[in-house]
A and B are shown apart, each in its own frame.
Chain A
């Protein structure tokens, strides 16, 4: 049963990674930019959630505001940092993104302190649920449910609504889409709103999961999300989702079996490098 437990825990982490990674792959697919600042959006969501929850006592409000504030930050980053630099090679906006990430992380450290903030009341953390002999706490369950609901919702949106189809068209062939009347700017805003909002929710959930929020929490998840989007084939949402789950599980087993050689964070990247050497286009990327 240990085997199963590792797999389940791995999938839970995979869902968390997926919520982060989807935002990244959406940005890459549209703009060819590695949106490293996404880590800051994630952490901001967590901070907003914990502060709102602690001040107002309402976790729900915390989540709502986390989503909203993260979405706004994401769009602002696009508008003021990326949009003016689209004519430059992607290296340039990527460096700006790294700068933004550093500024955000340091900003959090200066404002909230290096040790972070804990949730005053966190009912979900304590209560657990048993599923096929594996003990999961409510936050982990919420994470899985949230990711499924949100991603399926996005999938439906992308295939069924006008805006969604317009978005998909823009990603595949921007010029063609524009000639059909799709507004590329609106598509980009939509992209960042959804991706960043998702990251904000993920941040809030991870904060709940660990029971506290600290300034550097965005970094590690973000690095792994970057590895994931490469594994999944940059720009492919489906690939990203699958790669997220795979990474979660690989990390879960890897931490146990490679515990003496590498630490947890290295395992994901090691896996990425090994895969890339065998399949340079990623696990699911097109050749």
Chain B
């Protein structure tokens, strides 16, 4: 039983880091990214490869995050060149290029991925708590950022890039900052996943995964920290709570995307705000 709980908590924690990291890029800074799973994958493959060479966890995790962040900044550079609409497709493309590359590289295990990853050296429950602690720190960071002037600048960039320039905001640098931080954190999640799963397969980091992460962000409310936290917990627990939900997991994600965006594009957070405002008015 405690093994199951540790497992569940670990998955929630990893999903939360993924969702919060995408939230920084898409929610805070307004840059659409449909290829976020690629950075999850970059972090995972980096950590996995290094761990099999004997590098300890304390180094593989930051290495995975750094690699993902670096490549994320390069991808961010593409966002500077292309228009908004193009960005969605370009980031989708990054996801496919990553997958296509990794599936063919023998030294990364090709289609079979990397297996036999060493154990984290911690009791599963302790490891789960480590993940939760990291997720907690990231929540604090996100809330801090939102209240800071960096968050204020991000809001402006997300609202109207050109107007942001006319108030002196160096839009390119802010976009790269968002991409760098968001992708590095996704890479960190990848590293954490590696020691949890002990085996990684390329398909774990495909377009469907990118959409799953996006779903958690969008349903929580793009830009809202607590909304995203809540939706991640709910969406991760759903397949556990309901067997039917588990079989139809993807279908439910799709349906939720449709319903939420159709009727409350600001997600749970917007719905909560409206509900509270009505309560106050009454």
Contacts and interface: CB of A to CB of B under 8 A. Distances in A.
- Asked if A pairs with B, the answer is yes
Interface of A: 28, 32, 34, 81, 84-85, 88, 90-96, 98-103, 105-107, 110, 219, 223, 226-227, 229-230, 234, 259-267, 269-270, 272-273, 276-277, 280, 282
Contact of A262 (B85, B97, B251, B262): B97
A270 B96 CA distance: 9
B255 A223 contact: no
Given A98-B257, A106-B248, A282-B86, 4 more contacts: A100-B258, A102-B251, A263-B104, A269-B97
B254 interface: yes
A273 B94 contact: yes
Given A94-B88, A272-B93, A101 B254 contact: yes
Contact of B257 (A32, A96, A265): A96
Nearest to B93: A269
Interface in B69-105: 78, 81-86, 88-90, 92-94, 96-97, 99-101, 103-105
Nearest to A225: B89
Nearest to A229: B89
Contacts of A219: 207
Contact of B104 (A81, A227, A261, A276): A261
B96 A260 contact: no
Contact of B261 (A99, A105, A226, A280): A99
A102 B211 contact: yes
Contacts of B256: 99
Contacts of A270: 93, 97, 100
Return the 9 tightest CB-CB contacts between A and B, nearest first.
A266-B100, A99-B257, A102-B254, A269-B93, A99-B258, A103-B254, A106-B251, A280-B81, A263-B100
A259 B78 CA distance: 25
Among A102, A106, A227, A230: residue with most chain B CB under 10 A: A102
16 contacts: A81-B258, A85-B261, A90-B85, A95-B257, A98-B211, A98-B254, A99-B253, A103-B255, A105-B250, A223-B207, A229-B89, A259-B104, A261-B105, A265-B99, A269-B97, A276-B86
Contact of A227 (B93, B101, B103): B93
Contacts of A85: 261-262, 265
B114 interface: no
Contacts of B142: none
Contacts of B211: 98, 102
A99 B254 contact: yes
Nearest to A84: B262
B17 interface: no
B262 A81 contact: yes
A261 B105 CA distance: 7
Contacts of A261: 101, 104-105
